[in-house]
Amino acid sequence: GAVVSQHPSWVICKSGTSVKIECRSLDFQATTMFWYRQFPKQSLMLMATSNEGSKATYEQGVEKDKFLINHASLTLSTLTVTSAHPEDSSFYICSASQEPPGAQYFGPGTRLLVL
């Protein structure tokens, strides 16, 4: 149980385009989902926390207009990178909390490369 999927796993796009990443909890309902960014050989950096039906809470330094998050249902959250630039290239990972016990379960990640 507690499986989280992400789609796509890999995306290459041109600078200036927008990219949408989906995160789904497959076998449980997730009131809260999280979006992280990870650079090579570094730990996870929390970008935002999203709760179903409400606006996401962004971490300091994360541009909310650039990284749009929509948590439309208890099993789906999306992250849209708007007007992507090469510096947005990174590994994006989502997680979902299952209650109980309140642990976070991570998706497999999406590798974004902006040319």
| C-alpha distance from residue 78 to each of 41, 67, 70 (Å) | 25, 10, 5
34 binding other proteins? (CB under 8 A): yes
Question: Three-state DSSP class for 87?
Answer: helix
Total residues contacting other proteins by CB under 8 A comes to 25
Q: What mask, x for binding other proteins by CB under 8 A, covers residues 57 to 86?
A: ------------------------------
* Cβ proximity of 94 and 37 under 8 Å: no
111 binding other proteins? (CB under 8 A): yes
Question: Three-state DSSP class for 86?
Answer: helix
Which residues form the interface with other proteins (CB under 8 A)?
2, 4, 6, 32, 34, 42-44, 46, 49, 91, 93, 95, 97, 99, 101-109, 111
